[in-house]
Chains A and B, each alone.
Chain A
Amino acid sequence: MIRVENLVKVFGRIRAVDGLSFQVKEGEIFGLLGPNGAGKTTTIRILTMLTRPTAGEVYIAGHRLSTEAEQVKRIIGVVPQHINLDQELTVWENLELHGRLHRIPREERRRRMEELLEFIGLSDRRHDLTPQLSGGMKRRLMIARALMHHPRVLFLDEPTVGLDPQTRRKIWELIRQLNHQGVTILLTTHYIEEAELLCHRVGIVDHGRLIALGTPGELKARLGKAVVESFYNGVVDYHFFGSREEAVNFAAHLPGTVLIREVNLEDVFVELTGRRVRD
């Protein structure tokens, strides 16, 4: 459904995206996971035609992005990271504007707006101006807006940043429902559990490159089954093992505090992208 080939984006001296290639299958929820500044947002901006790539090519549903922008715009929906609802319009008018920009005929437009307001649970807030909504409501409205024209591919850039756990789960539920309806989804996140619980496949990105790709299970299997976390002399150490027995045997001879647990996606992420904190 999405094919990204050797994508490069250079801003001055920074290579934000550095030869990125991957494919997203139809009907998949695909996550781009990476630390801050890894190039996730730049990638999604290129895929949604808000930024021009320096080199490389993208195909969406067989359409080449650089030459068939109009066709691509009709089949993709975009939920950006920042809230960009029109503050001078009501909930209803925000949806209506999107419908009009996509030339949806009046009757169909109204039907779709009712349906989506129901879907995101904002039917009773339709006449409110958007600054009156809470953060979670705004995020849901942005998703509804992106869905007005029945996109086949939905791009979500950090869809749950800054939301409380309840709202986050509600958003995940919406994303799963959409996926069940056949929408292919590409999202970016730096939340491990979001990638682990929601995505069929995850691509880990760092310094603009893809450093690992697979299902969350496959990625975890790379490190092993069990991890021993030891804490001794103020230093935390991680050791990975193919089986629980090996881990237990190893842990038996360690001084200090020891924790044995299953490998999670966070371990994979940290092992691959390094432990240093960065911005």
Chain B
Amino acid sequence: MDFYAVLWRELVVLKRGFWKFFASRLVNPLLYLIAFGWGIGRSVQMPQGSYLEFVIPGIVALSAMTTSFGAAGTPLNMARLYHKTLEEYLIAPVSTFSFVLGRVLAATLRGLIAALIILGLALLFKTKLAVGGAFLLVLFLTCFLFSALGVVAAMTINSHEDMANFTTFIIMPMSFLCGTFFSTAKLPPGVRQLIEILPLTHTNLALRELGAHGSFPWLSLGVLIFYSVLFFFLACYTVRHCRD
């Protein structure tokens, strides 16, 4: 239960700044929905349904990814390099596992809230989307794995500028290439295989399949679990080895 002490701090901070967080998570997806749903989407023909229905699961995945990565990465990077508040945890009798778990769960929660905000917006845009237990499980895994990746980045990147660069070079390309706004099926071979290794692609595939009452996306679920375990393990490793 040690992780709860770590999580408790994050919950206190989330509660204090909740409405600011809420509003900030509303802006980007709302712009995407307007631009790609109402704007470009009107003139795009999809095999089934409207483009808006196609793009909403993508924007949910995108927001879950960026929010949880940022929520885990940025504050931890600051805590390690600038505020030195990480030391307070390092000198406490709390295991690395508990520390990472507390941080990752807190960022996962933020990611889930961001995703739910868009699902709420989607209702306003009158889309048909089936949100069930498996849909939420996929979202949880997505948030969890990108939170853990955020911890890895925060522990290994040694400046705030390079943290921003990580987002520019890794997170941003993923958000556009992993089937968020268009189907990866139309990509040239080679590029397609590369894209299909990435976790966000599988979030998009799984959410679309589940949202349209399709078959259960076992493969995608397996990939997401694999990345969750891998990144969590890496996060623990980087925290354990951060003492110089």
A residues sitting closer than 8 Å to B (CB atoms) are 11, 48-52, 70, 73-74, 76, 78, 80, 82, 84-89, 93, 97-98, 100-103, 145
Q: Are A80 and B92 in contact (CB under 8 A)?
A: no
Q: Tell me which of B9-17, B30-38, B42-50 binds A.
A: B9-17
6 A-B pairs within 8 Å (CB atoms) are namely: A73-B92, A84-B83, A87-B83, A88-B16, A97-B5, A101-B93
- Give the dominant DSSP class at A's interface: loop
For residue B95, which residue of chain A has the nearest CB? A70
With a cutoff of 8 Å between Cβ atoms, the chain A residues found around residue B87 in the complex are 50, 78, 80, 84
Report Cα–Cα, A88/B88, bound state, in Å: 14
| Smallest beta-carbon distance A6→chain B, Å | 20
| Smallest beta-carbon distance B8→chain A, Å | 6
Interface string of B77-108 (1 = CB under 8 A from A): 00000011101111111100000000000000
With a cutoff of 8 Å between Cβ atoms, the chain A residues found around residue B126 in the complex are none
With a cutoff of 8 Å between Cβ atoms, the chain B residues found around residue A93 in the complex are 9, 12
Report Cα–Cα, A88/B83, bound state, in Å: 11
With a cutoff of 8 Å between Cβ atoms, the chain A residues found around residue B89 in the complex are 101
B161 within 8 A of A: no
- A-B pair number, CB within 8 angstroms: 66
B residues sitting closer than 8 Å to A (CB atoms) are 2, 4-6, 8-9, 12-13, 16, 83-85, 87-94, 243-244
With a cutoff of 8 Å between Cβ atoms, the chain B residues found around residue A85 in the complex are 85
With a cutoff of 8 Å between Cβ atoms, the chain A residues found around residue B9 in the complex are 86, 89, 93, 97
Q: Are A102 and B92 in contact (CB under 8 A)?
A: yes
For residue B1, which residue of chain A has the nearest CB? A103
| Cβ contact of A88, chosen from B4, B8, B13, B94, cutoff 8 A | B13
Report Cα–Cα, A76/B92, bound state, in Å: 9
Q: Are A51 and B93 in contact (CB under 8 A)?
A: no
With a cutoff of 8 Å between Cβ atoms, the chain B residues found around residue A76 in the complex are 91
With a cutoff of 8 Å between Cβ atoms, the chain A residues found around residue B4 in the complex are 100
Report Cα–Cα, A181/B50, bound state, in Å: 74
| Smallest beta-carbon distance A256→chain B, Å | 50
